[in-house]
Amino acid sequence: MSTDKLQSTSWADDVDETIAAPEPQIKTITTPDSDVITTIEVRTLPDGKRVQVTRKFKKVLKKSNVNQAVADRKTWPKFGLEKGKPAGPDRATTTVGENVVLKLSAGNDSAVEEPSEEQLMKERLKSKKIVCRLCKGDHFTTKCPYKSTLGDLDSAQDSTQTPDESNANQGTAAAATSTGKYIPPSQRAGARASGAGPGGPSRDEYPTLRVTNVSEDTHEDDLRELFRRFGRVQRVFIGRDRETRASKGFAFVSFELRSDAEKALEKVNGMGYDNLILSVQWSQPRDK
DNA sequence: AATGAGCGG
């Protein structure tokens, strides 16, 4: 360890230097046979007093960058239930985490800053591939474009029930499955596919209108009431400020049938409502 | 003028 190395590794010294101008003199004494390094520092305090600081450091013989005890432990033969198994983690039962090393450094050197916690998480998520359980695509299962068609297939495969149990459960909502897991009626084997039948719209695919110039005190229910005359309204959403929840003056109205949405668009676009004139367009599909 | 929230893994 060199003299200037010692100076920069002590954060306390760095702090002092900003206050006390006089440069401390440091003498390092190394004895080859001993495992101790001695430094003697002479410095002048702000009030003029001279002090001598003697520090002793133990030389550490490091085989690697890990704690010696940890390294030793890794050479132990396995014991207990793992007795006789080959060395190293068994990947079938053990997930090997990322080795995060805590590094302390003097000052706030942002140029060599470690990647932030957030970045590390993102990296980890990236390496932990998202695979759709239905079609094996790289999206979440709920985002699967084939959800409405493969969805039933999946729940049938997932089921550990015998056909007898499955049939018995279909009739009674209260019946528990053999796994004890509740399956809502809409997802039980043989249930009608979600949306308007097989291949029909899946939740986000309903015909949707964007309504703008909506007065600030218009509520979801008001729009539902306004649009219901054109057909079954699937959803009403009013754009709001995240914090204040105040309306941002636009809304989305989804119908179950495109023909109804079309009628609504024609009739409501340009219509006076609550002292404003509503504008209605087809919405662009939500995406991110 | 203006295009949505939040789940998961």
Going by the DSSP 8-state scheme, the letter that residue A182 receives in this structure is -
Report pLDDT for A76: 74
Candidates A226, A205, A231; CA nearest to A215 is A226
Report pLDDT for A254: 96
Report pLDDT for A199: 46
Question: Any idea which fold A208-282 has?
Answer: Alpha-Beta Plaits (3.30.70)
Domain boundaries, chain A: 25-58, 208-282
List the A211 CA – B2 C1' distance (angstroms).
9
- For residues A208 and A258, is the Cβ–Cβ distance under 8 A? no
Region A229-238: what's the mean pLDDT?
97
Q: pTM score > 0.75 for this model?
A: no
Residue A236 has pLDDT above 90, yes or no: yes
SS3 A145: coil
Say how far apart CA A258 and CA A256 lie, in whole Å: 7
Banded pLDDT at A168 (limits 50, 70, 90):
very low
List the A122 CA – B8 C1' distance (angstroms).
16
Residues A91-121: tens digit of each pLDDT: 777 666 655 556 665 765 544 444 555 555 5
Say how far apart CA A213 and CA A262 lie, in whole Å: 19
CB atoms within 10 A of CB A41: 18
Residue nearest to nucleotide B8 (CA to C1'): A140
pLDDT higher at A189 or A165: A189
Region A18-29: what's the mean pLDDT?
51
Strands A279-282 vs A208-212: parallel, antiparallel or unpaired: antiparallel
Residue in the structure block whose two tokens are 């030793």: A72
A131: left (phi over 0), alpha (psi -120 to 50) or beta: beta
Q: For residues A240-279, b (16+ Cβ closer than 10 Å) or e, as one string?
A: eeeeeeebebbbbbbbbbeebbbbbbeebeeeebeeeebe
List the A224 CA – B1 C1' distance (angstroms).
24
Banded pLDDT at A27 (limits 50, 70, 90):
low
For the record, the structure tokens of A129 come out as 């591939």
Helix/strand/coil percent split, chain A, to 5: 30, 20, 50
List the A237 CA – B5 C1' distance (angstroms).
10
SS3 A18: helix
Banded pLDDT at A281 (limits 50, 70, 90):
very high
Footprint of strand B on the protein (CB under 7 A): A 125, 128-133, 140-143, 203-204, 208, 210, 212-213, 237, 239, 242, 248-250, 252, 254, 279, 281-286
pLDDT higher at A123 or A171: A123
